[in-house]
Structure 1
Amino acid sequence: MTFEAYLNYFEDVLTHPSNYPTYNDPEYFNYAKLNWSRMNRWLKKFEINEDVRTFFSTSTEKQTWILITEPWCGDAAHSVPQIHTLIKDNPNIILDIQLRDSEPFLIDKYLTNGGKSIPKLIIRNEQGKDIAIWGPRPAALQQIFDEMKAEGKEFEDIKTYFQTWYNADKGIELQHELVALLSGVEKK
Structure 2
Amino acid sequence: MEEKQEEGLDLRQRKTRRQLTQALVELMEERPFQELSVTDICRRAMVHRTTFYAHFNDKQELLHYLMVQVERECIAACVPQDAPTPRQFFLTAARNALAFFKTRKGLYRACMASGADTQTRLLEDAAAEELARRLSQPPFPDALPGLDPRIAARFYVGAMLSLVRWWLLSPDPVPEAVLLDHLDRFIPHS
TM-score by length of 1: 0.29
* Structure with the higher fraction of residues in strand conformation: 1
